[in-house]
Amino acid sequence: MSTLVLRGRKVVGGCVEGEALVTRDRISGWGGIDPRTGTVIETRHELKGVSFAGKVLVFPGAKGSSGWSSQFHIARLAGKAPLAMLFNEMTTKIALGAVVTHAPSITDFDRDPLQLIESGDWVKVDADNGIVEVTKKS
């Protein structure tokens, strides 16, 4: 099993580990997810029908409605939030969304997490120190 380490900037602190869910599509909050199940619902999204609940969500960033934060906020209260969030593009939607989701989150990576992490990999997120350790599934 190979492992690799990425370094980035803390957005929300905390340490967790879990399975990665990776998408190259940006995620829409309001109208893009069902926060009561943690499922992506956007019509032409590659994760349509897939739940991010309890996963280390790896994605480019946020798009769409300014209801982004409140939908992920509701997902947290419903127990369906991502375990952690790793993303590339900083926007107000995702910054506020990550903060109110209380999920350890990192951005500004030294290497592109979308290139290096695949769905199913095991990921340790130490957001306090901005360190991500990836164990490849194969």
Partner 1 sequence: MKLTADEQAMLDGSRGKARQKAMDLLLRYGEALGAERFVDTSNVCGTVGASTPFLRDYGRSHGGMDAVFSEFNLDSAEVVEIPQVAVRSAHLQQGIDPEHASRQGIPAEVVTLHRNGEAYTAGLGVQMLNTCAPYTVGNVPAKGEHCAWMESSAVIYINSVLGARTNAEGRESAGCAMLTGKIPYWGYHLEENRLGTHHVLLDIDVESTADWGLLGYYIGEVVQDRIPVVSGVRRAPDLGRLKHFGAAAASSGGVEMYHLEGITPEAPTLAAAFGGNRPLATIRYGQAERRLAYERANVTAKSRDVDFVMLGCPHYTLEQIAELCGLLQGKRIHANAELWIFTPRQTRALADQKGYSAIIEKAGAHLMSDTCSALGRVIPKGTRVAAVDSAKQSHYLPAIMGIECWFGTTAECVEAAVTGRWNGSLA
31 near partner 1, rule: CB under 8 A: yes
Of residues 108 through 127, those in contact with partner 1 by CB under 8 A are: none
Helical ranges in 1-138 per DSSP H: 68-77, 92-101, 113-116
Q: Which stretch binds partner 1 (CB under 8 A): 15-23, 50-58, 74-82, 115-123?
A: 74-82
Q: Please give the full DSSP string across 109-130, using - where no structure is assigned.
A: -SS-HHHH--TT-EEEEETTTT
The DSSP bridge pattern shows strands 27-28 and 62-63 to be parallel
65 near partner 1, rule: CB under 8 A: yes
- Calpha distance 109→48 (Å, rounded): 26
**What burial class does residue 115 get, using C-beta atoms within 10 Å of its C-beta: 0-12 exposed, 13-18 middle, 19+ buried?**
exposed
81 near partner 1, rule: CB under 8 A: no
Q: Tell me, yes or no, if 65 is annotated catalytic.
A: yes
- Calpha distance 57→29 (Å, rounded): 14
| Residues in Cβ contact with 43 at an 8 Å cutoff, skipping those fewer than 6 apart | none
Residue of 2, 28, 51, 65 marked active site: 65
Q: Least distance in Å: CB of 79 to partner 1?
A: 13
61, 88, 122, 133: residue in contact with partner 1 (rule CB under 8 A): 61
70 near partner 1, rule: CB under 8 A: yes
36 near partner 1, rule: CB under 8 A: yes
Interface contacts to partner 1, rule CB under 8 A: 9, 11-12, 26, 31-32, 35-36, 41-44, 61-70, 73-74, 77-78, 89-93, 95-100, 105
The set of catalytic residues is 65
